[in-house]
Amino acid sequence: MDAKTPSPSDLDDLKPLDPFFRTYMRRFVAHFEKNYKEIHQIDLDRTGRQAAGHVFLRHFIPSFEEKPHPRMTPEIEERYRQLLNEQKAFSLTILEMTQDLMIFQNQASARQMAAFQQFLSRNLPSGGGLEPPKPEEFEAAAAEVTAQTTLTPILDLLARIQAGRISLKTINLYQDVPVTNEAQVLELLPERNQARIGLERTQAAIIRKEGHTYFKSPNLPGLVKGYVISLDAHEPVAVMGRFHLANPRNARRENVRVRPALPIKIVLTSKGETFSGKLLDISLHGLGIELPRSDPLNIDEAVDVELFLPPSYEFTLSGTVVGARKLEAGGSSLGLKIFPGKREEAILNGYIKERQKEVLLELKKISEREEIRLPTFNKERR
């Protein structure tokens, strides 16, 4: 393994991946350490881990700047030369690094797509019939591109998960609360690009209602969305298809968001004007609000929010409008970023956790009812 200087054109192509390479050494060493142990049945010692780090710096990261490599002690240099012969361990590590790179690219692409969509929603002129594409339209376009550009077909990756008994999880949002459970690849149907997936019963109840789920696994190049073709709730087993890489934001939020069980009054004050609205959802640092007024507030507009939370909490928060749109049925909806103090944050956190417990308990009861055991529905999509 001799280090070679990339050509100028290669460096230009690799430059956008600089953030990935700069932060990857620790993960690279962890992958190599795991593979080394599986091969030799012994742990890699401290000197070996340091030597693996030098292997990464000299052979696995492009040199975008003319900088000398860190110097090695004689002991580490000797171990470094020994590790260069660990071809099998490095081959396995390269495969894992390739997967991590694909995840990095997919997440970067998803962030850019979300930013582009937000840019359109903010900058297209309103009132002239010109509207940005809906999120599901962006997603459909992404699915088409994924089918054409993914290096390894998702069904092949599911086959590896099945053969290696690798962890596979399903993720859905139920009333905006993330629900995650283990799943199992039972059978592949390559002629239809589908797979039979064994599900946990509560997850099956959500999937039956929503018609899709998100899959997460160390063997997948990011979050994968799959649609229900048919579902047998008695087992529970679903035939899934139309797999494609998804925007990770669709199934993961920085803060857990919950919907109130009962209507909650909210009062906004902006530029000396006060008006009442209805709380749609709440997280530790964000609110979704519905207002009767049809002209939404402006993005980045500062507001004061008077909030009434059960059982008897009342307080005022400062906030900023981060999303606004008119509703077809009349009125408007707002997304607010809020800035709670320590007292308010503790109250919000307690309310959110309690509501989350209620939602999950409700989901468990639903999954145990007789209606969840209705005959299989079938939405065959070819």
- Measured between alpha carbons, how far is 251 from 156 in angstroms, rounded to an integer? 23
Give the fold, CATH level 3, of 265-340.
Answer: Thrombin, subunit H (2.40.10)
Quote the CA–CA distance of 248 and 224 in Å, as a whole number.
9
Is residue 262 packed enough to be buried (19+ CB in 10 Å), middle (13-18) or exposed (0-12)?
A: exposed
* CATH 2.30.110 intervals, the chain: 133-252+354-382
- Dist. CA 288–CA 260, nearest whole Å: 11
Domain with CATH 2.40.10.220 in the chain: 265-340
Output the pLDDT for position 370: 40
pLDDT of residue 319 exceeding 50, the answer is yes
CA distance 277 to 71: 63
User: How would residue 136 be classed by pLDDT, with cut points 50, 70 and 90?
Assistant: low
pLDDT at 238: 94
Q: What is the mean pLDDT of residues 81-92?
A: 90
- Say yes or no to pLDDT of 39 above 80: yes
What is the average pLDDT across 190-194? Answer: 87
* Reported pTM: 0.51
pLDDT (mean) for 343-365: 88
Q: In this predicted structure, which of 68-82, 134-148, 179-193, 358-372 has the lowest mean pLDDT?
A: 134-148
The whole-number pLDDT of residue 369 equals 64
Specify the higher pLDDT residue, 117 or 203. 203
Q: What share of the chain is helix, strand, coil (3-state, %, to 5)?
A: 40, 25, 30
pLDDT at 1: 46
So what's the pLDDT on residue 53? 93
Residue 202 in this model has a pLDDT that exceeds 70: yes
- Tell me: pLDDT of 182 over 90: yes
Q: Which of 16-25, 168-177, 262-271, 369-378 has the lowest mean pLDDT?
A: 369-378
Model pLDDT, residue 379: 41
Identify the H or E element spanning 239.
strand 237-245
Q: Looking at the domain 133-252+354-382, which fold is it?
A: Pnp Oxidase; Chain A (2.30.110)
Q: Looking at this protein, which amino acid is placed at residue 162?
A: Q
Cβ atoms of 335 and 323 within 8 Å: the answer is yes
Strongest mean pLDDT among 2-11, 127-136, 172-181: 172-181
Q: What is the mean pLDDT of residues 330-340?
A: 89
Band of pLDDT at residue 132, cut at 50, 70 and 90: low
Question: In the prediction, which pLDDT does 4 show?
Answer: 53
Q: Which tops the pLDDT comparison, 122 or 143?
A: 122
- Looking at residue 256, its pLDDT comes to 77
Flag the least confident range among 79-88, 123-132, 210-219, 356-365.
123-132
Q: Name the least confident of 44-58, 217-231, 235-249.
A: 235-249
User: Which percentage of the chain shows pLDDT scores above 70?
Assistant: 81
**Other CB atoms within 10 Å distance of the CB of residue 198:** 16
- Quick one: average pLDDT of 67-93? 90
- Whose tokens are 């690799």? That residue is 14
Task: Tell me what pLDDT residue 255 has.
Answer: 62
Q: Which residue has the higher pLDDT, 285 or 108?
A: 285
DSSP 112-130: HHHHHHHHHHHHSPTTSS-
- pLDDT grade for 32, boundaries at 50, 70 and 90: very high
